[in-house]
Chain A
Amino acid sequence: MYVYDEHDRQMAAERVEQFRDQTQRALAGELREDEFLPLRLQNGLYVQRLAPMLRIAVPYGMLRSTQLRRLARITRDYDKGYAHFTTRQNVQLNWPEIKDVPDILAELAEVEMHANQTSGNCIRNTTTDQFSGVQADEIADPRPYCEIIRQWSTFHPEFAFLPRKFKVAVNASEHTDRAAIQVHDIGLQMVRNDQGELGFRVHVGGGLGRTPMVGPVSREFLPELDLLTYLEAVLRVYNRYGRRDNKFKARIKILVKALTPEGFAAKVEDEWSHIKDSPTRLTPEAISQFQGYFTEPDYQPIPEVTETLAGQRFENREFDQWISHNVDTHKKPGYAIVSLTMKKTGTPPGDVSDRQLEQIADLADRYSFGEVRVTHQQNVVLADVRKDELFELWQAVTPMGFGTANLNTLTDVICCPGGDYCALANAKSIPVAESIQRQFDDMDYLYDIGNIDLNISGCMNACGHHHVGNIGVLGVDKKGQEFYQISLGGSSHHDAAIGKILGPSFARDDMPEVIQKIINVYVDNRTEEEPFLDTYRRIGIEPFKERVYA
Chain B
Amino acid sequence: MPDLITSDGSIRHDEWVVVPRPADGESLDVPHQPALIPADLWLAGKEHFEDRDDIGVWLDSHEEPEILAGVANELPVIAVNFPKFSDGRGYSIARILRERLHYRHELRAVGDVLLDQLQFMKRCGFDTYVLRGDKDINKAARCLNFFTQGYQAATDTDVPLFRRRAS
Interface of A with B (CB < 8 Å)?
Answer: 5, 7, 10-11, 14-15, 17-18, 21-22, 30-31, 35, 38-39, 121, 148, 151-152, 154-162, 236, 239-240, 244, 274-275, 278-280, 282-283, 285-286, 289-290
Q: For residue B160, which residues in chain A have a CB less than 8 angstroms away from its CB?
A: 152, 279-280
With A161-B87, A239-B88, A286-B162 already in contact, the answer to whether A14 and B148 are too (CB < 8 A) is: yes
Name A160's closest neighbour in chain B (CB-CB): B120
Q: For residue B87, which residues in chain A have a CB less than 8 angstroms away from its CB?
A: 161, 244
A152 CA to B136 CA, complexed, in Å: 31
Q: How far is the CB of A242 from chain B (nearest CB, A)?
A: 9
Q: For residue A15, which residues in chain B have a CB less than 8 angstroms away from its CB?
A: 147
Q: How far is the CB of A278 from chain B (nearest CB, A)?
A: 7
A151 CA to B160 CA, complexed, in Å: 10
Q: Are A10 and B151 in contact (CB under 8 A)?
A: no
Cβ contacts B142-167/A at 8 Å (1 or 0 each): 10001111111110001111111110
Residue in B88, B95, B149 whose Cβ sees the most chain A Cβ within 10 Å: B88
Q: Are A282 and B162 in contact (CB under 8 A)?
A: yes
Within 8 A of A (CB), among B110-161: 114, 116-117, 119-124, 136, 142, 146-154, 158-161
Q: How far is the CB of A221 from chain B (nearest CB, A)?
A: 22
Tell me how many residue pairs across A and B have CB atoms closer than 8 Å: 108
With A282-B162, A283-B162 already in contact, the answer to whether A156 and B152 are too (CB < 8 A) is: yes
Q: How far is the CB of A63 from chain B (nearest CB, A)?
A: 22
Q: Are B151 and A151 in contact (CB under 8 A)?
A: yes
| B58 located at the interface, meaning its Cβ lies under 8 Å from any Cβ of chain A in the complex | no
Name B114's closest neighbour in chain A (CB-CB): A35
Q: For residue A244, which residues in chain B have a CB less than 8 angstroms away from its CB?
A: 87, 89
Q: For residue B161, which residues in chain A have a CB less than 8 angstroms away from its CB?
A: 7, 151
Within 8 A of A (CB), among B74-105: 85-89, 91-93, 95, 99-100
Q: For residue B163, which residues in chain A have a CB less than 8 angstroms away from its CB?
A: 279, 283, 286
Q: Name the contact of B95 in the complex, choosing from A148, A158, A279 (C-beta under 8 A).
A: A158
A148 CA to B163 CA, complexed, in Å: 12
Q: Are B116 and A22 in contact (CB under 8 A)?
A: yes
Q: For residue A10, which residues in chain B have a CB less than 8 angstroms away from its CB?
A: 148-149
Q: For residue A14, which residues in chain B have a CB less than 8 angstroms away from its CB?
A: 146-148
Q: How far is the CB of B1 from chain A (nearest CB, A)?
A: 22
Q: For residue A18, which residues in chain B have a CB less than 8 angstroms away from its CB?
A: 146-147
Within 8 A of A (CB), among B6-64: none
A282 CA to B138 CA, complexed, in Å: 39
Q: For residue A159, which residues in chain B have a CB less than 8 angstroms away from its CB?
A: 88, 91
Q: Are B88 and A161 in contact (CB under 8 A)?
A: yes
Q: Are A158 and B154 in contact (CB under 8 A)?
A: yes
With A157-B119, A286-B163 already in contact, the answer to whether A279 and B153 are too (CB < 8 A) is: yes
The DSSP consensus for interface residues of chain A is: helix
Excluding A10-B148, A157-B123, A279-B159, 14 further A-B contacts by CB distance (< 8 Å) are A14-B146, A31-B116, A38-B86, A151-B161, A152-B151, A156-B152, A158-B120, A158-B154, A161-B88, A239-B88, A240-B92, A244-B89, A279-B158, A282-B162
With A159-B88, A160-B120, A161-B88 already in contact, the answer to whether A280 and B152 are too (CB < 8 A) is: yes
Name A235's closest neighbour in chain B (CB-CB): B92
Residue in B114, B136, B149, B161 whose Cβ sees the most chain A Cβ within 10 Å: B161
Q: Are A157 and B91 in contact (CB under 8 A)?
A: yes
Q: For residue B154, which residues in chain A have a CB less than 8 angstroms away from its CB?
A: 157-158
A160 CA to B122 CA, complexed, in Å: 13
A156 CA to B117 CA, complexed, in Å: 12
Name A35's closest neighbour in chain B (CB-CB): B114
Name A275's closest neighbour in chain B (CB-CB): B99
With A152-B152, A155-B151, A279-B159 already in contact, the answer to whether A289 and B146 are too (CB < 8 A) is: no
Q: Are B153 and A161 in contact (CB under 8 A)?
A: no
Q: For residue A152, which residues in chain B have a CB less than 8 angstroms away from its CB?
A: 151-152, 160
Q: Name the contact of A157 in the complex, choosing from B114, B116, B124 (C-beta under 8 A).
A: B124
Q: For residue A158, which residues in chain B have a CB less than 8 angstroms away from its CB?
A: 88, 91-92, 95, 120, 124, 154
Q: Name the contact of A7 in the complex, choosing from B86, B91, B122, B165 (C-beta under 8 A).
A: B165
Name B166's closest neighbour in chain A (CB-CB): A285
Q: Are A289 and B166 in contact (CB under 8 A)?
A: yes
Q: Are B153 and A280 in contact (CB under 8 A)?
A: yes
Name A163's closest neighbour in chain B (CB-CB): B88
Q: How far is the CB of B101 from chain A (nearest CB, A)?
A: 11
A-B contact pairs, 24 of them (CB 8 A): A11-B150, A21-B146, A152-B151, A155-B150, A156-B151, A156-B152, A157-B123, A158-B88, A158-B154, A159-B88, A159-B91, A160-B88, A160-B91, A160-B120, A161-B86, A161-B117, A240-B89, A240-B92, A244-B87, A275-B99, A280-B152, A280-B160, A283-B162, A289-B165
Q: Are A274 and B86 in contact (CB under 8 A)?
A: no
A38 CA to B165 CA, complexed, in Å: 31
Q: Are B149 and A7 in contact (CB under 8 A)?
A: yes
A520 CA to B95 CA, complexed, in Å: 59
Name A241's closest neighbour in chain B (CB-CB): B89
With A157-B120, A280-B160 already in contact, the answer to whether A11 and B151 are too (CB < 8 A) is: yes
Q: For residue A278, which residues in chain B have a CB less than 8 angstroms away from its CB?
A: 99, 153
Q: Are A151 and B162 in contact (CB under 8 A)?
A: yes
Q: For residue A39, which residues in chain B have a CB less than 8 angstroms away from its CB?
A: 116
A18 CA to B143 CA, complexed, in Å: 8
Q: How far is the CB of A435 from chain B (nearest CB, A)?
A: 41
Name A7's closest neighbour in chain B (CB-CB): B161
Residue in A160, A240, A290 whose Cβ sees the most chain B Cβ within 10 Å: A240
Name A232's closest neighbour in chain B (CB-CB): B152
A22 CA to B92 CA, complexed, in Å: 25
Q: Are A30 and B166 in contact (CB under 8 A)?
A: no
Residue in A10, A11, A22 whose Cβ sees the most chain B Cβ within 10 Å: A11
Q: For residue B142, which residues in chain A have a CB less than 8 angstroms away from its CB?
A: 21
Q: How far is the CB of A538 from chain B (nearest CB, A)?
A: 47
A160 CA to B154 CA, complexed, in Å: 13
Q: Are A148 and B162 in contact (CB under 8 A)?
A: yes
Q: Are B162 and A289 in contact (CB under 8 A)?
A: yes
A432 CA to B93 CA, complexed, in Å: 48
